[in-house]
Structure formats: C-alpha cells, structure tokens
C-alpha cells in the first residue's frame, strides 16, 4: 500500500512540476450566462460554443470547467437516506454535487439563479451537476420554482416506510 501511495505521489509531483515550466495558465473563463443576462460583445451561442480545454485531471489543477445549474436534485423525507444516496452517486466520476444543502428553492430563492449557479461545482462536458435538499419534498413552492428554472431537471425522490422513519427520527 505504501508503494502505491508513493507511486501516486511522485507521479503527480512530476506532472505538476511540468506545469510551472510551461508558463502561466490561461485565465479562467467566465461561466455561461443565464437567459436574460447581457453579453460582453458576443452572442450567447458564441460564448457557450467555446470549448473547455483539458482532461479531467488537468481541470482539477487549473480550475477549468463551468458552473451549471443542476440537472438532477435529490429530495425526500427526513431520515430517508438522501445523504447516503448522494454520497454513493458522488463516487462516479461523471457526477459532481454540492457538498452542503443550498436550500435555494425554499429559503434563498430571492438571491437569484446567478447566486445558485455560483454554489455549484465546476463540471466538464458530459458530467452531471447535482444537489440535495430534502426539505423541497415538503415545500409548496419548490416544484414550481424548480420547473421554472429548467423543465429538464430530474427530481430523485427518496421515500421510506413512515413507521420506521418516525422511530429513526425519534431516537435521534
């Protein structure tokens, strides 16, 4: 195990040392605009068409990728296993998720979509952005607000037997 760790360390150190010799990294790109935001001299399509350079590991080092609104949101009942589901999904390399619950659609909606998008992790093309806030399950306004953000957003709903859920909630 020690040899594997040393190999990984020296492999990364060797590739990272070469980054400084190549010169300064390119300046980070601005995230794509939300509908209705003014552009800076170019159309929205031109700005979105510009490709992100680099492999997944290089994007980790140079901060490339874009912050996107989530394509999937996990909602569910209290003590239903929503955190466990999110952590299992995060193991996949094509899934990126917010660490903490943003509570955008129930508590922070007045801050706007730009604020919400800024909370999201940077993702590369082909990766899925997710977030988890179980309380959207019991918030009246959340479904309409999520739908107005994006009709294509998938909701992953976690439910549990109500009796065992109540016992679990009571004991904790």
Which positions are catalytic?
79
Q: Is 160 annotated as a binding residue?
A: yes
Contacts of 155 (CB under 8 A, 6+ apart): 72, 73, 75, 146
Q: Is 81 annotated as a binding residue?
A: yes
Residues 156 and 85: their CA atoms lie apart, in Å, by: 10
147 belongs to an annotated ligand binding site? no
Residue 168 assigned to a binding site: yes
Q: Residue for token digits 């068409």?
A: 49
CB contact set of 71 (below 8 Å; sequence gap of 6+) = 128, 129, 130, 150, 152, 153, 154
80 known member of a binding site: yes
DSSP state of 5: H
Helix (H) or strand (E) holding 77: none
Q: Is 79 annotated as a binding residue?
A: yes
In order of 45, 120, 134, 140, 156, the CA distances from 125 in angstroms are 16, 15, 27, 33, 22
158 with 77: CB under 8 angstroms?
Answer: yes
Q: Which residues are annotated as a binding site?
A: 79-83, 160, 168
Q: Which residues are annotated as a binding site for 3'-phosphoadenylyl sulfate?
A: 79-83, 160, 168
């Amino acid at each position: 195990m020690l040899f594997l760790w040393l190999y990984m360390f020296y492999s990364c150190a060797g590739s990272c040392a070469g980054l400084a010799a190549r010169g300064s990294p390119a300046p980070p790109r601005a995230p794509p605009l939300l509908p209705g935001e003014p552009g800076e001299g170019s159309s929205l399509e031109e700005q979105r068409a510009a490709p992100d350079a680099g492999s997944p590991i290089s994007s980790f080092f140079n901060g490339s990728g874009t912050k996107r609104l989530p394509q999937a949101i996990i909602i569910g009942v209290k003590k239903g296993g929503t955190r466990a589901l999110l952590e299992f999904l995060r193991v996949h390399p094509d899934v990126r998720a917010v660490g903490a619950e943003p509570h955008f659609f129930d508590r922070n909606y007045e801050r706007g979509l730009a604020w919400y998008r800024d909370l999201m992790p940077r993702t590369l093309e082909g990766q899925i952005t997710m977030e988890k806030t179980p309380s959207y399950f019991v918030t009246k306004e959340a479904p309409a607000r999520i739908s107005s953000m994006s009709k294509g957003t998938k909701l992953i709903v976690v439910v549990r037997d109500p009796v065992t859920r109540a016992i679990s909630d009571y004991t904790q």
